[in-house]
Amino acid sequence: MIQRSIPVHFQHRIDFTHGAFDPKNHTLRDLIADACALDGPARVLVLLDSGVAESNPTLAASIPRYFAAHADTVTLMTDPICLSGGEPCKNNWSLVEKIWQAIEYFKICRHSYIIAIGGGAFLDLAGFGAATAHRGIRLIRMPTTTLSQGDGGVGVKNGVNYFGKKNWVGTFSVPFAVVNDLDFIASLPPRACRDGIIEAIKVSLIRDRSFYEYLKANGAALNRLETRPLEMTIRRSAENHVEHIATSGDPFEYGSARPLDFGHWAAHKLEQISNFSVSHGEAVAVGMAVDLLYSVQVGILPRSTAEGILTLMETVGFSLWSEFLNTEERGRPVILAGLEEFREHLGGRLTITLIPAIGEKLEVNEVDESAILRAIDELRQRHHSKVVTIPV
């Protein structure tokens, strides 16, 4: 047998900026110029989420102007290619082919760059197209939602849906760089804007107590979606997500533990039961509430700690109850099927992350369903006790 280890080193770069396509902003230009000794300007293809283009009407025209101002370093091969975004784009295989066709037509090679601008779904699609053409083209991701800037967009995965299953086809691929232009947050509808805050709370709970204290101190301002605390929240969330990926020892998820998916087993199921009328952030809030009260039920977490976290999630504007938790099939709550589906999704053993204290995590491999149902019952009662009945 021949056995050799193959050492591979990845650089994961996350930059934060405002006005990335203002010609005076050198973030994108410098990233490309600094990375390699250029043999003439680098060829660049820009893929743009049409939802972002519509909400930012001057964006598409500003991109060619930016490249013209930096023609010594970068050549934009064509005007930005606008493709539809949001979850439906991950169900549309013809969009993958469109990306490959553009790569082929404009002779984008392994020394060229693709810049993808959009929400997490669009980045998953564009990232898959880029990673599979010529076995991988350098990708600069520019996430445009709070969720993708603080969570998914700074990760190392891509994928599209296939066989009716989410992310069935995709790769692990460290992007060349991620550029978070915080100006994009301004054009997000409030509901989408709020969604990213919950992933920030999640990551603070599993690894960063001081970030949790920051979120608690700024809960009311975050509820009002004030710019400064929101930007700080996105930064620290991104930092924590990247730190976890870089230091956990399992960036490409060979094991079964997935701490960044705290609260997600119930969240994924809730999104599905609701036919995605419950947003990802809203579902994660309920999912974390279930897991926190479950932890109290089984003696892992003190009740006072759990109550404090539930209050923070409500303060920033999330409901901890969804009527979809009541959905039953043949007398069994449908939400419980989320546990087995989560195990299948991770592969191997069921592994759920819980927290014994703020900033600490604990992996468990067995779950007591009756205690889960008691936790859900507590959330139901908590919700009903808050509904004020107006006497007539």
Chain positions contacting ligand NAD, by CB under 6 A: 49, 51-52, 55, 85-87, 90, 118-122, 124, 144-145, 147-148, 151-152, 155, 157-158, 184, 187-188, 192, 280
The least distance separating ligand NAD from the CB of residue 143, rounded to whole angstroms, comes to: 7
Q: Which is nearer to ligand NAD, 120 or 333 (CB)?
A: 120
The 10 Å Cβ neighbour count of residue 305 is 17
Minimum distance of ligand NAD from residue 188's CB (angstroms): 5
Q: Cβ 32 to ligand NAD, closest distance in Å? A: 23
Return the amino acid letter for 257.
A
Least Å distance, CB 166 to ligand NAD, is 6
| Backbone torsions φ then ψ of 149, nearest 5 degrees | -70, -35
Name the closest residue to ligand NAD (Cβ). Answer: 51
Residues 6 or more apart whose Cβ sits within 8 Å of residue 179:
15, 16, 17, 20, 27, 28, 31, 140, 141, 142
Strands (DSSP E) found in 20-159: 42-49, 74-76, 81-83, 113-118, 138-143
Q: Which residues touch 169 (CB under 8 Å, ≥6 apart)?
A: 128, 159, 160, 162
Distance of closest approach, residue 88 Cβ to ligand NAD, in angstroms: 9
Taking alpha carbons only, the member of 142, 272, 281 closest to residue 225 is 281
Quickly count: other Cβ atoms within 10 Å of residue 73's Cβ. Answer: 19
Q: Closer to ligand NAD at the Cβ: 187 or 327?
A: 187
What is the closest distance, in whole angstroms, from the C-beta atom of residue 197 to ligand NAD in the complex? 12
Shortest gap between Cβ of 389 and ligand NAD (angstroms)?
A: 36
C-alpha 90/C-alpha 53 separation (Å) is 18
Alpha carbons 382 and 303: distance in angstroms, whole number: 14
Phi, psi of 257 (to 5 degrees): -80, 140
Give me the least distance between CB of 147 and ligand NAD, in Å please: 4
Closer to ligand NAD by Cβ: residue 155 or 333: 155
Token couple for 37: 């000794």
Nearer to ligand NAD among residue 129 and residue 155 (C-beta): 155
- How far apart CA 357 and CA 245 sit, in angstroms, is 21
Our CB check for ligand NAD shows the closer of 41 and 86 to be: 86
Count CA within 13 A, CB hemisphere, residue 59: 24
Closer CB to ligand NAD, 144 or 295, in the complex: 144
Cβ nearer to ligand NAD, comparing 115 with 375: 115
**What's the one-letter identity of residue 105?**
Y
* Closer by beta carbon to ligand NAD, 124 or else 208: 124
